[in-house]
Every structure is written in structure tokens, then in C-alpha cells.
Amino acid sequence: AQAQAGSSVQLFGLMDIGVQALKASGTDTRYLVNSDGNTSSRFGVRGTEDLGGGLKVGFWLESAVSVDDGTSGATSTNNKDSVSGGLTWGRRATVQVSGPWGELRLGRDYVPSFGNLTTSMHPFGTNGVGSSGIMFYPVPANGTTARTNVRASNSIGYFTPSGVNGFYGHAMLALGEQGAGPTRKDGQLTGVRIGWRNEALNTSAAISKTRYATGDYTQSNVGMSYKWGPARLMALWGRNEVGITRTTATMLGTQWEVWPQGELRFAYTWLKARNVASDATHIAIGYVHDLSKRTALYTNLAKVDNKGRGTRFNVGLATTQPGGDSGGFEAGVRHSF
């Protein structure tokens, strides 16, 4: 049925699905029908109420969707363990109050240091075989599997008002809410992001630290995006520290509007590892073709190369050979509502 007209609730979403071929050293090629090659699929409900005097209150509920099988995505109640098995509003669940002084946001939300890994600073954002996540997400170590490299639950966030001389900022405190004992502060995150943008340049630095009894997790990064004619040049530096381990990645890339409906994407990333995994590189090229404002076709091609005896990094299919590489190709359609 059609929903009633009148007020302030919005159903929204995005569906991205395509076919994917993956190949890694020592394995057969795998073919997949896969979600999210271009943008993360989602279903959500959101709304805003104007309280007068510049004050607004709003809510946001957003869940992940795997279009290929109808499952949703995980969340975490304590920023330490993963919870899944049906629809969760794991992508975002917040109530926010905003005014001339900025915005206060409570609930489950993106951490400050995630902002630089999206398409604002990385040509592919966190999707597909070109995903920034391949090189810029943390490597689990010594019992610490960080769950806060993208979002955190039980968070209190503050955003500066938009448009004050181009500056923007985001600070977050998120609680782990564990019981007593040595792990009781596990999952507690503090993070901050500061940036500046005008019509051509956007640059920002961020750091988020999460406490874990098995080894704290720190994500820090600096991104830059510069519009140069039809191209947007991008550079991203990011570091993940889990206990005494450390991976540091640097990316140079571009989103290039080759004609009004088409955007070429390219990114090259090199990663240095310490006390964990091994060095690696990631090269990706893609093309996005708009069919309308809401719908696009896309294709991506990427390769990840492990250095030395490394096997950690791949585009979705693990290599079975030390120092092996893996490659992936995908083509799909993205549709938003």
C-alpha cells in the first residue's frame, strides 16, 4: 500500500548488486553475485522536527542490506563483540539535536576517523575491489579484533556548525559498557576529526582510540582532495595500531569526470607493516556511469600484491601462497530511493 502523506518521516535506501570474479595465487577463480561493489546497500527511516528558535531534533535508523541474499549486517552492543542474525539498525541508530551551536548526536554512529576513508578522500570509498578498507582497516592481533574502525555504539558525538569559515569538526565519546574486571573499559572510544574545505580543497585529520584489555586500537589518518579541472585528486595517509602492531598505508588517486555521465576512478596504495602481516600494494581502476540521478552502472578492476612471505591482504579471496597476489573484477548496478 502507499503510505500516508503529511509529515516528516522518510524511507530511504540504496541497493547495489553486481557480478564479481576473484582470483588469488594458488586458487581457482571464484564467481560471485555480490552486493556493494560501488556503494553500501542500505534501508532506513529518518526524520526531522523543527522545534523553533533554530533548534531541530531528528532521528536516523539505518540497516545494511545484502541484496544478493536478503541478510542484513552486524552491530555491536559493546564495541567489542559482533551481533548479527537478522535486521539490525547497525549502520546508524541516533537521535540528534542541532542548533546554531552545532549538533549533538547520541546512539550508534560513524567514528570521527572513518570520515577520511569514504569517497570524500578515497576514490573508491569503502566499497568493492578498490575499497579503502583493504589497506586502511586494522589487522586483528593478539586477541584484539577492533570493531570501531567504522562505527561505535553507545556514543555521544558533537559536530561543529557547518559553514563557519570552511572549518568542520567532529568529536566522539563511545562507551563499551562491559561488566566489572580487567575488560570493563573495553570498547571505550574517544575520537576527534578536524577539517577545512572550500570549493576546490577538502582536507582533514582524525584520530580515534579504543581501549581493549588485549591491546588498544588507534586509527589515525589525514586526507586531502583537490578539484583540478574535471579531476578530483586525492591523497590519503592512514595508520592502524593494534597493541604493538602497526600498519601504515598511503594512497594516491583520482576521481575523473570524463564526461557528464561518466567518472573514471584510480587509486594506488602502498602499505608498510610492523610486528604483524607484511607490506603490500593495492592498485584499482573503476568506472561509474550514471543512468539517472538515482541509478548508475559501474565496473571495477583491482589487484593486491603481498610482499615478502605475506598472505594477509587480498581483494576478497585469500591467497594460499606466501607473497601471493589476488585480483578482482566486478560490474553492477546501484539504485537509490
Binding of residue 292 to a second copy (CB under 8 A): yes
Strand partners, 273: 247
Three cell numbers written together for 278: 607484511
Instruction: Give the integer Cα–Cα distance in Å for 224 and 1.
Output: 46
For a second copy, the binding residue among 21, 102, 106, 270 (CB under 8 A) is 106
Q: Decide if 208 contacts 191 (C-beta within 8 A).
A: yes
Cα–Cα nearest to 171, from 145, 216, 206, 138: 206
Instruction: Give the integer Cα–Cα distance in Å for 212 and 203.
Output: 30
Instruction: Considering only residues 177 through 236, tell me which ones interact with a second copy, judged by CB under 8 A.
Output: 177, 180, 184
Residue with Cβ nearer a second copy (29 or 142): 29
Binding of residue 333 to a second copy (CB under 8 A): yes
For a second copy, the binding residue among 40, 71, 203, 250 (CB under 8 A) is 71
Helix (H, G, I), strand (E, B) or coil at 191: strand
Number of residues engaging a second copy in binding (CB under 8 A): 82
Three cell numbers written together for 15: 541497493
Binding of residue 92 to a second copy (CB under 8 A): yes
Binding of residue 43 to a second copy (CB under 8 A): yes
Binding of residue 45 to a second copy (CB under 8 A): yes
Residues 6 or more apart whose Cβ sits within 8 Å of residue 255? 119, 123, 231, 232, 234, 263, 264, 265
Residue with Cβ nearer a second copy (97 or 224): 97
Q: Decide if 143 contacts 186 (C-beta within 8 A).
A: no
Residues 6 or more apart whose Cβ sits within 8 Å of residue 181? none
Residue with Cβ nearer a second copy (210 or 245): 210
Only segment of 3-11, 192-200, 207-215, 232-240 that touches a second copy (CB under 8 A): 3-11
Binding of residue 86 to a second copy (CB under 8 A): yes
For a second copy, the binding residue among 21, 23, 40, 87 (CB under 8 A) is 87
For a second copy, the binding residue among 11, 164, 200, 258 (CB under 8 A) is 11
Instruction: Considering only residues 145 through 184, tell me which ones interact with a second copy, judged by CB under 8 A.
Output: 153-156, 174-175, 177, 180, 184
